[in-house]
Homo-oligomer: A and B are copies of this chain.
Amino acid sequence: MTEINVAFAQTNPVVGDVQHNLALILEAAESVADTADILITGELALSGYPMGDLSYRADVIDATLSALDQLVAASTQEMFSSLYFVVGHISFATDARPTAQSSLAIAHNSASVIQNGTIIGTYNKQILPNYDVFDDWRNFIPGNNELVFSVSGKKCAVAICEDIWDANSSRPQKLNELGIDLLLVLNGSPYTRKKAAERQVAARSFQRGFDLAYSNLCGAQDELVFDGGSFLLNSSGTTLFKAPFERGCFLALPNSQSSFVEDELSTLWMALVEGLKQYCQKTGQHSIVLGLSGGIDSAVCAALACDAMGASNVIGVALPSRYSSDHSLSDAAELAHNLGIQYRITPIDQVHQAFEQTMDFSALAAENLQARIRAVLLMGISNTDGALLLSTGNKSEIAVGYSTMYGDAAGGFAPIKDVLKTDVWRLAKWFNSSRGSALIPVGSIEKPPSAELRPGQVDSDSLPDYELLDQILTLLIEHSATIEEVVANGFQLKDVVKIEAMIRASEWKRSQGAIGTKTTAVSFGTGRRIPLTTKFRKL
């Protein structure tokens, strides 16, 4: 068992704001300076992660390296005299570009070990992921060096994230032959609902007789949430310590394991709150506006907004039309009252009539008209009050294109775009249960979903039942199943064919969609890249 005290700095860097990111690391170091031997940050904690094509910019790299110099200088302070910093940062590539790599990359994804004014060495990420949201091979040149250093007589080595996800590579054996006692792994590992368990499995598979310290970022960047959860495994793969989904610095004292609960829905809720909160903070938004339809999606988004920004910074707007039912308004009002948010009622019928007097709308156009009038009013409030408009669509709707472009699809952030409708209901019930009160009105949870486009209209007029729809969507999207494979799972061919066609036909809508937090292996974001114009029938 490691006799080295490892501290995990679960920081929330802002891409490019290297002085801010440096301050976070130093603050973490100060909090554990008297007890920790090693402070390990997340991947690229000094630069921010992911950087996208900012990694091409020499000025961004220069700024990061200046901050690294400041960190080296700070490490000479008395309190840090025996502390090893293991810090993630971008650096100018020193290794040559492999023949196979045709990119514009000029940098390594690096981690430096710093001790008392000296950079002991710099490690460069070797395995550069190029799937899902990851574009590392586009943006970085791979490294090929080992960095081994000793702390209190124990040999340590460094790896970065994807480096440890292939247990069949020759590297675990190589590290074992080098006789290392502890592998320090810096990660920028985005949250998905199953990721926490997958990380531990990957880490254990990579171990060959050495302890392993896995450090992760904690915060969010655009569509990605980083859920902390840093952990320390002994050489047998036993978890000695696991940090919570919480920013801060966590000293991995054996047997000091936190007793926090890891319930899937509560963690999902935290991730959704964090994704929205950090998007607001990192883009300078101070308040949120959203339409309240009385339905479940907007109710859950309003609750998330409260947890992210505080109820006093949330404006809920009911925008009743001639087709709105009484319960729509009463459920919206009850929700706003329960959450304590600002509540406004803005009827749309006068505008609706003016549009109808201006032009003839077909039935389809007329259905979309209401949603678009609401978007204009909500964006009016967004511009007038300086509030971020939320798009409240869920993954089921977005998958099949059941939304109005420039209507309910409008918004700067879509908090539940990667949450299926059936999970939205689960979240709502979990939320009420966790608060010990039906803050989200029972009516919103229990009534049949309806866009209220026509009198008496319900979603099930044009969509399969959501329980069915969500299972098929999960197979088609998350598991990339073919139509035949979905049918082999017991679903009706006509349902699967219809849903698959709806997914294909709405590719263009998603290409214009607001970003929102990724919660699954395949979300509708930068990690899914499908042509808009394609005619393959089994997509």
Contacts and interface: CB of A to CB of B under 8 A. Distances in A.
A364 to B, nearest CB: 5
A513 B512 CA distance: 6
Copies of this polypeptide in the complex: 2
A392 interface: no
Contacts of A484: 59
A161 to B, nearest CB: 10
A360 B384 CA distance: 8
B354 A350 contact: yes
A536 B63 contact: yes
A137 interface: yes
Interface string A88-100: 0000000000111
B364 A355 contact: no
The A contact surface, by secondary structure, is loop
B354 A534 contact: no
B383 A355 contact: no
A131 interface: yes
A209 to B, nearest CB: 22
B384 A531 contact: no
A530 interface: yes
Nearest to A511: B515
Given A99-B169, A358-B351, A222 B380 contact: no
Contacts of A355: 351, 376-377, 380
Contacts of A512: 512-514
Interface in A1-60: 14-17, 20, 48, 50-54, 56-60
B54 A536 contact: yes
Interface of A: 14-17, 20, 48, 50-54, 56-60, 63, 98-104, 126-132, 135, 137-138, 142, 162, 165-166, 169, 221-222, 278-279, 282-283, 346-348, 350-351, 353-355, 357-362, 364-365, 368-369, 372-373, 375-377, 379-384, 405-406, 410, 412, 480, 482, 484, 508, 511-515, 526, 528-539
Given A52-B531, A354-B354, 9 more contacts: A15-B533, A57-B539, A103-B137, A135-B529, A137-B138, A282-B533, A282-B534, A362-B383, A406-B406
